[in-house]
Amino acid sequence: MSIETLTTTNGQLGSNTSHQFDQNQFDAAVMSTYARFPIALEKGLGCRVWDTQGREYLDFVAGIATCTLGHAHPAMIESVTQQIQKLHHVSNLYYIPEQGELANWLVSHSCADRVFFCNSGAEANEAAIKLARKYAHTVLEIEHPIILTAHASFHGRTLATITATAQPKYQKYFDPLVPGFHYVPYNDINAVEAAVSELDEGNYRVGAILLEPLQGEGGVRPGDIAYFQKLRQICDETGILLIFDEVQVGMGRTGKLWGYETLGVEPDIFTSAKGLGGGIPIGAMLAKKFCDVFQPGEHASTFGGNPFACGVALSVCQTLEREDILTNVVNRGEQLRQGLRLLAAKYPHIVIDVRGWGLINGMELSPDIPYTAADVAKAAMEQGLLLVPAGPKVVRFVPPLVVTAADINEGLARLEQALVNIINH
């Protein structure tokens, strides 16, 4: 399907003005850092989006687990409108009331005591890495602190966070990488214990462990509860900081507000972004008071925590609570997994596993078929369902948290038709 010149006059969701999209013009001006699917999206409402041809899609990508309340939610429209008319940016040279309100909401709804605001998940993880390093130097007295991360993890695209991301495909051509990281298998406590012991030599020692409660980009792999509880014990005994990357799983995505709640352990530091602003760029690094060792001038962000982003994010947080959306996440997540398991039973030569928490779920494809997760996503897109891969053989389902039972059933029907088309291809 070509999108070289697409036109729509669909006025149902906005202006009646005809909009033209020129793919050649786009490709000439925008860096080719993404392998984009061949559609151009321009409007959305709830869990549905429309492309520039006026075609409707069920959106089970949600901006990659970002559009918490879906598209054009009334609470977000109201908060965006009110805040942009009031004050949108002033910098952190001054107190920002909206920032304080959001920080207090986050602190009162988590194990954290303090919050640093930035613009993205990568920046939040950068802040956590810097805080952990300063803590290791000044409190643990480690001259060369090491941070443990897991194979198949994903923590961002900056130099430090791709180094923390233990996937060579993200690191290729970007060396020299940032020193001070060591990788261990996910959910393998023996590997962690061995690394903590073996890396304790001279001026080198493990100062922090950075993990996702559930690996998203690594194939939607949930953390093992016993593993994380043992990690907490190790950190308590050694003084090592336990850091959770909650960028994708936080803000209700798992059926609880934070992924760590499912594991039954509290991190010392954790990060949030994606769903925090419901699609408005904002990130946060949250920490317990004992490890908040930053002093003025040691870390900063020009746009981080500005009135606009914080005002909208606060409305997202309050809406999650007011409308009891977490209950919907639990119910719709179970419905989705049950439906995916039925498809797995019906097409066992294609689907070999279904896993996840709440509304972050993965469907693993058989290694014996020639089709990839991207192939399934393309076939689903032809049926009007948007999905996203989580590695070469896992299809990821991360719809808005306001998805309905009817949306789930419709999405499953469209997915099955996509699988049938693949079989008959």
The pLDDT, as a whole number, for residue 202 is 83
**pLDDT at site 19:** 64
26, 119: one domain: no
Tell whether 41 is covered by a domain. Answer: no
Judgement on whether residues 146 and 254 belong to the same structural domain of the protein: yes
Q: SS3 for 252? A: coil
Q: Domain holding 403: CATH number?
A: 3.90.1150.10
Asked if residue 314 and residue 411 are part of one domain, the reply reads: no
Domain end point (choices 322, 342, 360):
322
Give the span between the Cα atoms of 393 and 186, in whole angstroms: 18
- For position 286, what pLDDT does the model report? 98
Same domain as 349, residue 273: no
Q: Judge whether 176 lies within some domain.
A: yes
pLDDT at 333: 98
pLDDT in tens, 340-362: 999 999 999 999 999 999 999 99
Helix, strand, or coil (residue 248): coil
| Pairing status of strand 56-59 against strand 385-386 | parallel
Q: Are residues 276 and 292 in the same domain?
A: yes
Determine the 3-state secondary structure of 38 from DSSP. Answer: coil
pLDDT, residue 201, reads 84
- Domain range for 365 is 5-34+46-72+325-424
Q: Are residues 142 and 159 in the same domain?
A: yes
* Contact indicator for 252, 320 with CB cutoff of 8 Å: yes
345 domain residue, yes or no: yes
pLDDT reported for residue 96: 97
Neighbours of 119 (CB within 10 A): 19
In this prediction the pTM is 0.94
Q: Which residues of the chain have pLDDT under 50?
A: 1-18
Among the candidates 304, 322, 340, a domain finishes at: 322
Residue 347 lies in a domain: yes
* In-domain check, residue 39: no
Domain count, the chain: 2
Residue-averaged pLDDT of the chain:
94
